[in-house]
Amino acid sequence: MDITAAALIGTGIAAAGAAIGAAMGNGNVVASTIDGIARQPEARGTLMSTMFIGIALVEILPLLSIIMALLMFFTKS
């Protein structure tokens, strides 16, 4: 297996892992927010802004992984 094929396989694994992790993390955040809003609809605004901060904090790790994947994809040699 030459290094190009290894880089492409690594790209795929990194992208897949990023997608799975981001989906689970963001899903948990949003699910908990919906729970909170259903229990206490008047707290919607505060919960939503906290949710967006949480989503942004979760999202940085899959994005780093995606950047790594792109680097591997474009510098495969």
Partner 1 sequence: MHDTVLWVLGNGTVHAKTLIMTWVTMILLLGFVFLCKRNLTSGTPGKLQNLLEWIIDFVRGLISDNMNYKKGSSLLGYLLSLILFVFFANMIGLIPNIFAPLLDHVHFARINEMFGGAIFSARTTTFSSPTADVNTTFALSTITIVLVLVYGLKYKGAHYFKHFLEPYPPFAILHIIDFVAKPLTLAFRLFGNIYAGEILIAVILMIPGIFAFGGVIPMPFWLVFCVFIAVIQSYVFTILTVAYVGQAIEESH
- List contacts with partner 1 (CB under 8 A): 49, 52-53, 55-57, 59-60, 63-64, 66-67, 70, 74
Least Å distance, CB 70 to partner 1, is 7
d(CA 7, CA 5): 5
**Cβ nearer to partner 1, comparing 13 with 48:** 48
Nearer to partner 1, 1 or 70 (CB): 70
Contact 29, 55 (CB under 8 A): yes
How far apart, in Å, do the first and last CA atoms of the chain sit?
13
Q: CA-to-CA distance for 2 and 22, rounded, in angstroms?
A: 31
Kindly compute the dihedral angle of the four CA atoms of residues 18, 23, 26, 29, in this order, to the nearest 10 degrees: -130
How near is the Cβ of 66 to partner 1 at its closest, in Å? 6
Min dist CB 18 to partner 1, Å, is: 10
Query: Which CB atom, from 3 or from 60, has the smaller least distance to partner 1?
Result: 60
